Amino acid sequence: MADSGATTPTVFVLFGATGDLAKRMVLPAFYELAQEGLLPEDWALIGNGRGRKTDDEFRTHVRGALEEFGPGEGVDRIDESVWSDFAERVRFAGRGFSVDDAGDLPSVVSDVTDELGGDVQLVHYIALPPSTFLDYTAALGEHGLAEGARVVYEKPFGTSQENFEKLDAAVHDVLDEKQVYRIDHFLGKENTQNLHILRFANGMVEGIWNREHVEQVQIDVPETLDIDDRAEFYDATGAVLDMLVTHLFQVAAEVAMEPPLSLGAEDLQTARESVIAAFRPLDPAEVVLGQYRGYTDVEGIADDSTTDTYVAARLWVDTDRWRDVPFVLRTGKMLGTSTQRVSLVFRRPDGPVKHLPEDGAVLSFDLSGDGRVDIAMTVKEPGPGEDLGIGRMSLDLSTVSDAEPLSPYSRLILDVLDGDRSLFTRPDGLASVWDVAAPLLNARPDVRPYEPGSMGPDEAKDLATPCGWLVDETS
């Protein structure tokens, strides 16, 4: 794999270093970059938290996270030669971090900076709930750790339109926009990026990527997982904020955007954010919210919680390319299957062949893992009759020549180190997101119960007519 473009000595500060997100996603991603030789020659990782840990205690925690969630399988997740070098570069700065008390972080950053030669790129990754973003941003400015730094914010960046505007203003009081990296890991997925590559690099696809040929777009991300140990975060967020206005809207923008002037960061961002401005505000009558039975039995969840663990919505994109084509979006917890799929359902042509199936021509992108492109088309069933069937073809992207895929978090952290903001969101697009979501947030439909292992409330079935949801519990 090619070397990273980042050559400046780098200090990576991970806030919330002992939390669930860091354990599952950030630490394994950073280790994967080390394993692939994609980190700068000189780097250090400083974990920050409220408790007190020695460097060795934190290294033990990091190793445990990698053994459980690192790249590879089982014992193969730890390459001892990589780990030996990795561990030496890992430090811990405890006693928290706030405007009033910076804890140990400034002194540890200073020590590590001196060790690396004095001229370093600071990267701060805030792997904490959104409710902390204001305080941590202010503390970075207060304690002299913001100048020239790059700061990564997890999603959701804001929890309402008012909260987003307050957070955006507070961030820009401390940081220039070019320093800000609002992460949405769905944009780091190999096949999300392939949405625009396959389209713009292949004339046979670009020519049919419009309302004349496409009847419906489905963006479907059901999950069999429960809320695990994220109960407090999830109950304050729910499926709408955790998935719909973040991941699903961003993927919809990837599908719907107009051709950018180039694939450079500014042009890609502009194309994506511009089409979000053309999303029609959601009609609550075209949204179904659900909550799986047993949710309120989870420790930490109130008995009367109305938090949504499921959302399905019909979105309209008011551009000449997509006008009157429904984008149907769905996600939820404790459903009958797990997948991450974008599907373009093509119109049935007028002509001599009659009684065509509704889902007989579909181009799908599987966003999970290394990604896969699937094509379904109506064919004559082999044999003496004239019966029609649906034939399917698949391209596993990991089989493409010289494929060296990275996990989404690894890809996005690498882009932060390289200073490439093309796969990160901008405030103009996020402002439009909250405009689109406002009618739903202001007039939420009643939450419908659904059974764990089902595909959600029955009321959502009509949203995907005429062909119905392509993904079911047998998928």
* Three-state secondary structure call for residue 355: coil
387 is in an annotated binding site: no
Say how far apart CA 37 and CA 49 lie, in whole Å: 28
What are the residues whose beta carbons fall under 8 Å from the beta carbon of 307, sequence distance 6 or more? Answer: 234, 235, 236, 237, 238, 291, 295, 301, 447
Residue 212: CB partners within 8 Å, gap ≥ 6?
347
- Number of helical H runs and strand E runs in the chain: 15, 15
Contacts of 101 (CB under 8 A, 6+ apart): 95
With H, G, I as helix, E, B as strand and everything else as coil, classify residue 347: coil
- The reply to whether 239 sits in an annotated binding site is no
Q: Does the annotation list 50 as a binding residue?
A: yes
At residue 79, what are phi and psi to the nearest 5 degrees? -95, 110
Q: What secondary structure does DSSP assign to 311-323, as a single string?
A: EEEEEEB-STTTT
Q: Mind giving me the DSSP string for 44-103? A: EEEEE-SS---HHHHHHHHHHHHHHHSSSSGGGG--HHHHHHHHHTEEEE-S---SS--T
Structure tokens at 242: 């955790």
Residue 213, marked binder: no
Sheet holding 341-346, edge to edge: 388-396, 372-380, 362-366, 341-346, 214-222, 326-332, 310-316, 287-292, 447-450
- What phi and psi values does residue 9 have, to the nearest 5 degrees? -50, 135
144 labelled binding-site residue: no
The verdict on whether residue 23 carries a ligand-binding annotation is yes
Give whole-number Cα distances, 202 to 205, 211, 365, in Å.
Answer: 6, 18, 15
189 is in an annotated binding site: yes
- Asked whether residue 380 is marked as a ligand-binding residue, the answer is no
Cα(163)–Cα(377) distance, integer angstroms: 46
Q: How far apart are CA 408 and CA 253, in angstroms?
A: 18
Checking 97-101 for CB contacts under 8 A at 24+ apart, the result is: 97/15, 97/48, 97/136, 97/139, 97/143, 98/135, 98/139, 99/135, 99/138, 99/139, 99/142
Peptide bond just before 349 cis, omega within 30 deg: no
Answer whether 52's CB lies under 8 Å from 18's CB.
no
- Has 19 been labeled as part of a binding site? yes
247 noted as active-site residue? yes
Residue 167 token pair: 């957070």
Choose the catalytic residue: 143, 172, 247, 355.
247
Q: Is 242 annotated as a binding residue?
A: yes
Nearest to 342 by CA among 212, 216, 453, 472: 216
Q: Which positions make up the binding site?
A: 16-23, 50, 155, 185, 189, 223, 242, 333
Active site positions, annotated? 247
Task: Give binding residues for NADP(+) as ranges.
Answer: 16-23, 50, 155
Residue numbering of the annotated binding site for substrate: 185, 189, 223, 242, 333
